[in-house]
Amino acid sequence: TTALFWEEKALNINRRTILAGAGSAVLATAFVSRARAAQYNYKYANNLPAAHPMNIRAKEAADRIAKETDGQVNISIFPSSQLGADTDVLSQVRSGGVEFFTLSPLILSTLVPNASISGIGFAFPNYDSVWAAMDGDLGKYVRGEIAKQNLVAMDTIWDNGFRQITSASKPIATPADLESFKIRVPVSPLWTSMFKAFKSAPASINFAEVYTALQTGVVDGQENPLAIISTAKLFEVQKFCSVTNHMWDGFWFLANKRAWERLPDDLRTIVAKNLNQSGKDERADVAKLNASVKEDLISKGMTFNDTDATLFRAALKDAGFYSEWKGKYGDEAWAILEKAVGASLT
């Protein structure tokens, strides 16, 4: 922040000194070259701990971008909701207070309603079908919807993972265990609707407050991929982990539209290429972590149980969840989703 403040001050002084006349020419030149050293100082905010692969790969992208642009584009990373909780930062990336932000498609749906379609419960059977959809027609459709709200989404969506349910008090073995269960969900109508369909008691809480909410018992449980349960140390405040794989979730890499268009074409190409490359790298890291971290969580005291997905899916279907959301998204969007997963969901 100090560096950024200095740049802005330098530019202001520079403008004034130029107006003051030729006598200040030497001073003005000095400030111009100083300012040019990092012409585009952009902030990237996210909600995950620094140890999560998303932050590690984003740092690699930022380093490559600085190098390939000869220091003209400097991206500073602010992990762990340092610049605010997700719903606040979504406003900031729209206004331009923050230039880059990674956000779950489901939380993004508070602004772009149909963005949440990729998070429909039990839609994707595996990662192959996720990436075929998100790198194909479904992702393209959603990026088009995002563009209508004056945000730019990079082509490559980053991975969060398949989500699992944790609890302080009990394993979730069947849909009946979810009845009246006090569960934290991220701020998104789809999440709330899904757990209401399970007859749970969902509470919308930004990730920034999740650890404390679990620690103080405001909620009994939450749901997240294993990579987050591990890196955000949720195992310290949760005992049971039920492997439900109830939905896939990702992170759209969003840019403020004006900040994005301010970049000259050549720099924009470098930034996009590197963010997309790091997104692919991060997908591989998260898949590996989600597959390997279970033993570690067990050694830290968590108890795991597997579940039968067909029971949970049937409960959602019986509650009218799929037909309700088909109606909300509309036939066009729903057809793209069903084509991607190769099955009828209703």
Shortest CB 225 distance to ligand X2X, Å: 7
Q: Least distance in Å: CB of 228 to ligand X2X?
A: 6
Neighbours of 237 (CB within 10 A): 17
**Interaction residues for ligand X2X, span 284-343 (CB under 6 A):** none
Tokens representing 56?
Answer: 């590690």
Q: Which is nearer to ligand X2X, 52 or 143 (CB)?
A: 52
**C-beta of 158: minimal distance to ligand X2X in Å?**
11
Q: Please give the single-letter amino acid code of residue 277.
A: Q
- Under DSSP, the state recorded for 39 is S
The C-alpha angle 202, 208, 210, rounded to 5 degrees, equals: 40
Establish if 47 lies at the interface with ligand X2X (CB under 6 A): yes
Closest distance to ligand X2X from the beta carbon of 97 (Å)? 20
249 belongs to the binding site for ligand X2X (CB under 6 A) = yes
| Shortest Å distance, C-beta 44 to ligand X2X | 15
Compare residues 104 and 274 and give the one whose CB is closer to ligand X2X: 104
Instruction: Choose between 69 and 160: whose C-beta lies nearer to ligand X2X.
Output: 160
Which two tokens mark 245? 């794989």
Report the relative pairing of strands 182-185 and 151-153 from DSSP bridges. unpaired
Residues 6+ apart with CB under 8 A from 242: 164, 165, 166, 167, 171, 172, 173, 304, 305, 307
Among 79, 186, 202, 250, the residue binding ligand X2X under the rule CB under 6 A is: 186
Nearer to ligand X2X, 107 or 286 (CB): 107
Looking at residue 118, the DSSP 8-state letter turns out to be: G
Total site size for ligand X2X, rule CB under 6 A:
9
CB of residue 22 to ligand X2X, shortest distance in Å: 54
Q: How far is the CB of 249 from ligand X2X (least distance, A)?
A: 6
Nearer to ligand X2X, 66 or 201 (CB): 201
- Listed as own residue / partner, the contacts of 88-94 with beta carbons closer than 8 Å and 24 or more positions apart are 89/45, 89/47, 92/45, 93/45, 93/151, 93/254, 93/255, 93/256, 94/149, 94/150, 94/151, 94/256
Amino acid letter at 94?
R
Tokens of 303: 């108890």
Q: Residue 189 — φ and ψ, nearest 5°?
A: -55, -35
- CB nearer to ligand X2X: give 161 or 175: 161
User: Smaller CB distance to ligand X2X: residue 224 or 242?
Assistant: 224
Does 207 bind ligand X2X (CB under 6 A)? Our answer is: yes
Closest approach, Cβ 73 to ligand X2X, in A, equals: 26
Per CB under 6 A, the list member of 133, 190, 228, 275 interacting with ligand X2X is 228
d(CA 82, CA 89): 10
Nearest residue (CB) to ligand X2X, 209 versus 261: 209
Interface with ligand X2X includes 142 (CB under 6 A)?
no
Cβ contact 54:61 at 8 Å: no
Secondary structure of residue 251 in the 3-state scheme: strand
Kind plus residue range of the DSSP H or E element containing 260: helix 257-262
Compute the least distance from the CB of residue 205 to ligand X2X, in Å. 8
Of positions 156, 167, 200, 224, contacts ligand X2X by CB under 6 A: 224
Q: What residues between 150 and 169 interact with ligand X2X by CB under 6 A?
A: 160
Distance of CA 273 to the CA centre of its chain: 19
Of 186 and 202, nearer to ligand X2X (C-beta) is: 186
Residues of this chain that bind ligand X2X (CB under 6 A): 47, 104, 107, 160, 186, 207, 224, 228, 249
